[in-house]
Structure 1
Amino acid sequence: MRIGFNLPQFGSHSHRPEGIARFAREAEKLGADSLWVGDRLLAPVHPEINYPGEDGIPDEFRAGLDPFATLTIAAAVTSRPLLGTSVLIAPWYAPALLARSLTTVDRFSGGRLIAGLGAGWMPEEFQSVGVPYGERGARLDECLDALEAYWTTNPVAHKGRFTATPASYVDVKPVRRRIPIYLPSFTPAGIKRAARRADGIIPAAFPGHFDPAVYTGMLAQVRAGTAQAGRRPEDVDFILRINTKAGDSVDSIADVLLRSRDAAIDHAFVDLTFRDRARDVEHAIDLAGRILDRVR
């Protein structure tokens, strides 16, 4: 089973960015198989939508480092772990710029990048980047079309509802021809989109509230929809994100990993920095090591 961890990108960690390189190096030495980043812009004082399970927005979202720069640092100091985004809010970005940023990280890392892309959920963030909140699903779909064009054709030409690229040469491509794309797929619409478009899904799990059957059932739903898109069920993979909170023990986190492995989920990563579960980078490294010791 592959086991990874989020990089120290949010909350108090963002004020000590030197910790990114240290955590990435030490996590690789410990045997971590993947390193991940998220994508947050701000924490509104009066949010229109609360974070799921919270009365408001977690304090950690008040400070966050750029995901592309964070991954580039990790790419520079490691050689083996996969590098992933969980998830980039695709509608915020012009597809041409997103394709370039993702391709750059993929080239720097030697082809280790996994692109987790989502539609987003916080209206205030969309307002801050000038993108209508109601267009997020359509923009995600168009972004997927544009990325496919940028990565697999040359000259590149794409015409969509929101952006268009006239026939143009873009010679820098991902190492593996295209970067694997994973989608969160929490909703019926998301499951259908993943069946048509994704290389895999990234659902979230929580220690103390984990039923492997829910997640294997979700994957089964996605795979059942692949035939309509002319794809094979095995074309869609699964990576489990484990969100931790203050009070979650190492044993409870390891239990999710062990039960996932028993359910044939072969890749999961643990978000140790969310809600400052890891107080500083040394604590995060220690937690990662203890979790891996419990599971391996």
Structure 2
Amino acid sequence: MKLGVFCYNTDYSIRPEKLAVMLEERDYESVWFPEHTNIPASRKSEFPGGGELPKPYYHMMDPWVSLGAAAAVTERLRLGTGICLVIQRDPITLAKEIATLDVISNGRVLFGIGGGWNAEEMEQHGTPFNRRWKVLREKIEAMKVLWTEEVAAYDGEFVKIEPTYSYPKPVQKPHPPVILGSATGQGRQRVVNYCDGWMPINVLLEDMPAAIEDLRRRAEEAGRDPDAIELSIFGQVGINEDLLKRYRDLGIGRTVIGVPTSRPEKVEEVLDRYASVLPDLAA
């Protein structure tokens, strides 16, 4: 199993390029940055974690710019979004941004996506909350066409693209892996329908073995090879060596751990602690 690292990526966190170098030096597989383009002042949408919205949610830097900085100072480290709010972005522009980063990094992009939870944030970008999953699927399908076809076109309910050229094309073929962050049964079906990987948050799953079996069953019913869907876990709580080994034994290919947000001086300590178990996880 591989280990990745998540950082809230604020202007008071460890700088993305510094974190990237530290990760590659310690043989971590990937770095992951989240996205909230903005936080509406209304705060009508309740934070899924309960209580007040944590400060870093207001201060996240752009993930793609930060991943570009990380790409520039590394050679092997994979570059992931955990997650990108696709429904708040123009698919033509986003497809170009991702393909450009994939070219610059020589094929290291991991495209983590999600449906989001902040209704007011989405609506400020023109997406009604109750249609977000339909919008997400159409944008992902349109981007795949832009990445893979010489003359791309898409005709959906929310996304319409007249025949057009879009370059560069990604280095990874057919495109960077699309990895959905979702813990529900419906989310697992969406993985099967239009994604390449699954990336739930560990604390949202009461029975992880059953969820993995459910995903495999859905894949088989859809005629997809279950082994071709990469399993990742965002480990928010309780991550230790024993739990990491349990995830490995369940067939999970990647666990993403977090580092301190507002105390960048503590990041190295955390990275060194988990780096010591990397050889055992790979065994």
Query: Post-superposition shift, 1:64?
Result: 0.8
Where structure 2 has 5 or more consecutive residues not aligned to the other structure, the ranges are none
Within a 5 Å distance, the mapping from 1:131-280 to structure 2 comes to 131-177=127-173, 178-206=175-203, 214-244=207-237, 252-273=239-260, 276=261, 279-280=263-264
Within a 5 Å distance, the mapping from 1:25-174 to structure 2 comes to 25-174=21-170
Query: Post-superposition shift, 1:75?
Result: 0.6
Whole-angstrom CA distance in 2 between matches of 1:171 and 1:295: 38
Query: Post-superposition shift, 1:202?
Result: 0.3
Query: Post-superposition shift, 1:151?
Result: 1.4
Query: Post-superposition shift, 1:60?
Result: 1.4
Query: Post-superposition shift, 1:193?
Result: 1.0
Equivalent pairs counted in the alignment come to 278
Amino acid at match of 1:65: M
- Deviations 1:46-78, CA, capped at 9 Å, x for gaps: 522322232121111121100110110111111
Whole-angstrom CA distance in 2 between matches of 1:120 and 1:55: 18
Where structure 1 has 5 or more consecutive residues not aligned to the other structure, the ranges are none
- Deviations 1:10-47, CA, capped at 9 Å, x for gaps: 3732xx6xx21111101110111111111113345552
Amino acid at match of 2:272: G
Conservation of the 8 A alpha-carbon contact between 1:3 and 1:269: yes
Task: Give SS of 2:140's match.
Answer: helix
Query: Post-superposition shift, 1:221?
Result: 1.3
Deviates more, 1:258-267 or 1:177-186: 258-267
Task: Give SS of 1:87's match.
Answer: coil
Q: Which residue of 1 aligns with 2:9?
A: 9
- Sequence identity (%): 27
Whole-angstrom CA distance in 2 between matches of 1:294 and 1:145: 38
- Deviations 1:172-215, CA, capped at 9 Å, x for gaps: 11102211111123222211111121111001124xx987xx22
Amino acid at match of 2:210: G
CA RMSD of superposed structures (Å): 2.1
